[in-house]
Every structure is written in C-alpha cells, then in structure tokens.
Amino acid sequence: MSMKNLLLACILAVSGGILAQPMKYKGSPGGTLSFGQRNSLSTFNHGDEQSTLGVGGQFRLRLSERINTEWFFDYLPATNDFTRRTDYHIGWSVMYYPFKTDNQRLMPYVVAGHCFDYTKHRDLSTPSNQAERWSSAVQGGLGMHLNLTERLDVSLSSQYMIHLGTDIHTHIENNVVEFERQKGGSLEGHLLFNLSFNFKFVDLWARD
C-alpha cells in the first residue's frame, strides 16, 4: 500500500467519525449546508406522453431559521410509443417555513424557484430523427420535511412547473415520426413530485 492510499484511508476513517457526531449549530440553523439525492415524478400534459421517473441531486443552503435554498439537477427520460423524450432540469428554489422550526419532526414549507430545461426527442425506430430545445421555467408548490434524525431528513414536495419556450409536437405521418417545432413562445406546464433524502453536513455560519 502506498503512502497516498494510507493517507486516504486515514482521512476516510477520520471523516467518517466526524459525520457520526451530532450537528453543532451556532445560534440559529441558518448556514446549514446539506446534500441530497432526489427522485422526481413528472406528469407531462401532452396527450399520450408517459409520466416520467427522474433521478438527480441537490444541495441546500439554509439562510435563516425560516428561509432555505435548494439547488438541484434532474435527469428525466421517458419512453413513449414511438419516441424517447429526455429532459434535464437545472435550477434553484427558495423554501419558506411558515411555522416554528426548532426540534420539529415535520416541517411544512412553501417553495418557488427558477429552472432551465433541455429537452431532446428521439424517434425510437430511427435514432437520427430527433429534435431538441432549451427553455426556462418557473416552479412553485408545497412540501414537507420529515426529520428522521438531527442530520437526516426525507422531503416530499409537489410543484407545478411552467416552461416558457418553443414547444415540440410529435406527429405520425405515413408511419413516420415527425417533430414539429411550434413557432413563437408557448407555455407548457407539468406537475412534479419530488422525494429526496438529505444529509446535513455542516453549519457554515459557525466560526469556531
């Protein structure tokens, strides 16, 4: 074993010990940095498009006792009858806790934010036949943290996301898939449900 590997093993053992310690807050929970993984269920509003199971990651930086921020990335592929649609979301949200938050097992919140979306449609039988678009979006909704431990929470939220951008419609003409890009801007919305596991690593505001 090289000294580099030995050093890595020591760092892992020490950092493992640190993560097993209780959180040390300096005053309010503002400054708490947490990382999480999330699953998204997206219900698209187009006629025969399949609802989508997505996976992604996020980090949260809590600004004060009542305000938290969430920065996320989602990957959402869906296979339909003739096409495969893939969406990538990258965005952020602000979460507001309307009720007191100290030592609460359940913490409801109101959430709203912005998102950028890249969508790609591909013909299943002819992969070279494809179309793509970029759009921006706003989203808002309600959520709930279930604090399992001082460091770990499970969060469930439901948000409506409205995209502003050129929409792509799929048509079947003579057994051939045709993608039609709509001219001008259009509003396209879908309902998103997110389930996430989040682990609080550190209070960044604590200075000692």
**In the complex, minimum distance from the CB of residue 112 to other proteins, in angstroms, rounded to a whole number:** 24
Q: How far is the CB of 39 from other proteins (least distance, A)?
A: 5
- Of the pair 66, 151, the CB lying nearest other proteins is at 151
Closest separation in Å from C-beta 55 to other proteins: 4
Secondary structure of residue 11 in the 3-state scheme: helix
Phi and psi at 3, nearest 5°, equal -60, -30
Cβ closest to other proteins, residue 77 vs residue 140: 77
Q: What's the rounded Cα separation, in Å, for the pair 208 and 20?
A: 19
**Which of 170, 183, 174 is CA-nearest to residue 123?**
170
DSSP for residue 206? -
Nearer CB in complex with other proteins: 79/182? 79
Min CB(30)–other proteins separation in Å = 23
Residue 15's DSSP bridge partners are none
Nearer to other proteins, 55 or 112 (CB): 55
Which residues contribute to the site for other proteins (CB under 8 A)?
A: 1, 3, 6, 13, 16-17, 19-20, 37-39, 50, 53-55, 75-81, 84, 124, 127, 148-149, 151-152, 197, 199
**Strands 130-147 and 67-79, bridge-based pairing:** unpaired
Instruction: Find out whether 170 and 177 touch, Cβ atoms under 8 Å.
Output: yes
- Minimum distance from CB of 50 to other proteins (Å)? 6
Which residue lies nearer to other proteins by CB, 13 or 106?
13
Task: Identify the CA nearest to 78 among candidates 111, 108, 36, 43.
Answer: 43
